Amino acid sequence: MHMRGLPVCTFSDHLTIAVPVAVAAAVGTYLLTRYLSSRSDSKGKVNLEINKDNAKVVHSFDIEDLGKKAVYCRCWRSKKFPYCDGAHAKHNEETGDNVGPLIIKRRDA
């Protein structure tokens, strides 16, 4: 039974409409998900807050000024950056990373 004035749609007619709509919805969802996740994803960045106004963060030190030992941050999470304060332990726990500090020390003569 069909309503007067409306055409009778066959299974083939339904597929002709449903398949392109489903494909368009899937592609749209995929693109929207990629766009939104790329905007808010900060886990891909290493430096989240230190000297963000500079295009490149560079620190240089003279060997003569180091003393016996210097411990530098490599996770970019240290509150004492560029020196390590142990923040990599929390970073490693949260991300599954295994970064540690850069330790420079004088060789015993």
- At 25-73, the pLDDT tens digits run 999 999 998 887 766 555 567 777 888 888 888 888 887 777 888 999 9
> For the whole prediction, is pTM greater than 0.75?
no
CA distance 107 to 29: 58
- pLDDT (0 to 100) of residue 23: 94
Within 8 A by CB and 6+ apart from 19, the residues are none
The more confidently predicted of residues 102 and 64 is 102
Q: Which amino acid is at 94?
A: E
Catalytic residue annotation? 56
Within 8 A by CB and 6+ apart from 78, the residues are 84, 85, 86, 87, 88
How does the average pLDDT of the chain come out, rounded?
A: 83
- pLDDT (0 to 100) of residue 44: 64
Within 8 A by CB and 6+ apart from 91, the residues are 75, 77, 97, 99
